[in-house]
């Protein structure tokens, strides 16, 4: 029955390069940097498989009421690469409390089913101690679930009640999160789809029903400095949603003078991933990930490709990568 298939599947899109943009899974990251952070990503999953998922998003966020870093304890009177020297981790001090604002527009399509989301995000950041910050965030918006029954081949669907045409259902969407961060580590927890929704695709509520369920995320990472410009960042993410089993993502990232970075990821019983990124300038960065499928889908899948392009607008210190990670 169609309702079981939709209810038991992962409902939010999955991204390999979330470590470069934790904002997409945790609204508490909103406004964490000193500039306007803009990112666009596209993910084509399981190439070679008919009607495989394809996801895209555009995210934008920025601080509000945040003092200029040159007049706060975090100011070193530096720009560009020199902002990230080794002593940064020791001389860092939390800045004054401030707000963050932003939005995320995302689409996810798999076969006949398409989901679109638009959310406005807000966060509040404050210092817990000299070196440790805490942020809490909330995201509210709308989610539109659309199914095109004309895309379902008659030979694949035996239920005559499925009908024809295209049906959309608009529902509210709420996400919440917390984010703890310092110059050397971060830890966060978030819930997406806080409000479970029943999405019915016909009028008599008999057929074509899908149920949204909350998605839970817990992430943590640590930054090791080898010297002034070379860092190693291991991190992990735990994700679970009912009725699926919890899953773990393991990630590593190596940075070279804040201009080039290499990374890898392992998702248990799913995929190995390789990642490569360039900070082309203080305005533009680009990264690419390729997943090698290890699940039974590897017999039909040619892998998954993901590309992300970022802009750092109003980046007056000309930094080449985020200070708050990553």
- Please report the pLDDT score of residue 259 as a whole number: 84
Q: Tell me whether residue 2 is in a domain.
A: no
Q: Where are the beta strands (DSSP E) in 128-229?
A: 133-148, 166-181, 185-192, 198-200, 209-211, 215-222, 224-225
- pLDDT over threshold 80, residue 222: yes
Q: Tell me whether residue 326 is in a domain.
A: no
Q: Tell me whether residue 212 is in a domain.
A: yes
The tally of domains found in the chain comes to: 1
Domain of 78 in residue numbering reads as: 18-149+164-313
Tell me: the pLDDT tens digits for 225-273? 887 778 899 999 999 988 888 999 999 999 887 789 999 999 888 889 9
Going from the C-alpha of 23 to that of each of 57, 74, 294, 312, the distances in angstroms are 12, 22, 27, 14
- Helices H, strands E: what count in the chain? 2, 17
- pLDDT over threshold 90, residue 22: yes
Q: Tell me whether residue 45 is in a domain.
A: yes
pLDDT band for 67, please (50, 70, 90 cuts).
low
Decide: helix, strand or coil at residue 273: strand
- Please report the pLDDT score of residue 116 as a whole number: 92
Q: Tell me whether residue 65 is in a domain.
A: yes
Q: Tell me whether residue 304 is in a domain.
A: yes
Q: Which residues contact 5 (CB under 8 A, 6 or more apart)?
A: none
- Please report the pLDDT score of residue 69 as a whole number: 56
Pick from 225, 201, 224: nearest CA to 211: 201
DSSP 8-state class, residue 66: P
Tell me: the pLDDT tens digits for 177-207? 999 999 889 999 999 999 887 766 655 555 4
Alpha-carbon span 238 to 228, nearest angstrom = 31
Could you tell me the CATH number of the domain that includes residue 252? Answer: 2.40.160.40
- Please report the pLDDT score of residue 295 as a whole number: 76
Pick from 40, 48, 35: nearest CA to 83: 35
Residue ranges of alpha helices (H) inside the chain are 2-8, 88-91
Give the side-chain half-sphere CA count within 13 A for 326. Answer: 29
Q: Which residues contact 183 (CB under 8 A, 6 or more apart)?
A: 88, 89, 92, 131, 223, 323
Q: Tell me whether residue 6 is in a domain.
A: no
- pLDDT over threshold 50, residue 164: yes
Strands 271-279 and 260-267, bridge-based pairing: antiparallel
- Please report the pLDDT score of residue 262 as a whole number: 94
Global pTM?
A: 0.84
What is the CB neighbour count within 10 angstroms for residue 36?
16
Largest interatomic CA distance in the chain: 70
For residues 316, 320, 321 and 324, what is the CA-based torsion angle, rounded to 10 degrees? Answer: -40
Q: Which residues contact 90 (CB under 8 A, 6 or more apart)?
A: none
Q: Tell me whether residue 125 is in a domain.
A: yes
Query: Which of 40-54, 117-131, 213-227, 249-263 is the least confident region?
Result: 40-54
- Give the whole-number percent of the chain exceeding pLDDT 90: 45
């Amino acid at each position: 029955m169609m309702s079981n298939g939709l209810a038991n599947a992962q409902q939010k899109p999955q991204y390999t390069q979330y470590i470069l943009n934790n904002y997409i899974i945790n609204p508490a990251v909103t406004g964490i940097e000193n500039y306007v952070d803009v990112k666009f990503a596209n993910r084509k999953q399981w190439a070679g498989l008919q009607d495989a998922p394809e996801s895209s998003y555009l995210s934008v966020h920025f601080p509000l009421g945040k003092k200029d870093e040159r007049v706060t304890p975090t100011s070193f009177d530096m720009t560009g690469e020199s902002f990230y020297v080794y002593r940064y981790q020791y001389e860092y001090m939390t800045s004054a409390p401030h707000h963050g604002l932003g939005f995320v527009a995302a689409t996810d399509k798999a076969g006949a089913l398409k989901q679109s989301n638009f959310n406005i995000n807000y966060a509040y950041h404050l210092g817990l101690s000299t070196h440790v910050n805490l942020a809490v965030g909330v995201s509210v918006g709308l989610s539109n679930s659309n199914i095109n029954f004309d895309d379902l081949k008659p030979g694949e669907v035996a239920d005559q009640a499925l009908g024809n045409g295209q049906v959309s259902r608009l529902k509210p969407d709420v996400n919440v999160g917390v984010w703890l961060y310092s110059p050397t580590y971060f830890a966060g927890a978030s819930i997406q789809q806080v409000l479970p929704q029943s999405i019915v695709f016909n009028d008599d509520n008999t057929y074509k029903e899908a149920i949204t369920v909350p998605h839970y995320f817990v992430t943590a990472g640590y930054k090791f400095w080898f010297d002034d410009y070379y860092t190693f960042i291991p991190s992990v993410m735990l994700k679970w949603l009912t009725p699926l089993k919890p899953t773990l993502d393991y990630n590593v990232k190596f940075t070279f003078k804040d201009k080039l970075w290499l990374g890898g990821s392992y998702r248990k019983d799913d995929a190995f991933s390789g990642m490569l990124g360039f900070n082309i300038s203080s305005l533009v960065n680009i990264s690419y990930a390729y997943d090698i499928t290890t699940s039974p889908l590897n017999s039909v899948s040619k892998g998954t490709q993901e590309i992300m392009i970022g802009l750092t607008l109003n980046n007056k210190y000309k930094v080449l990568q985020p200070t708050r990670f990553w």
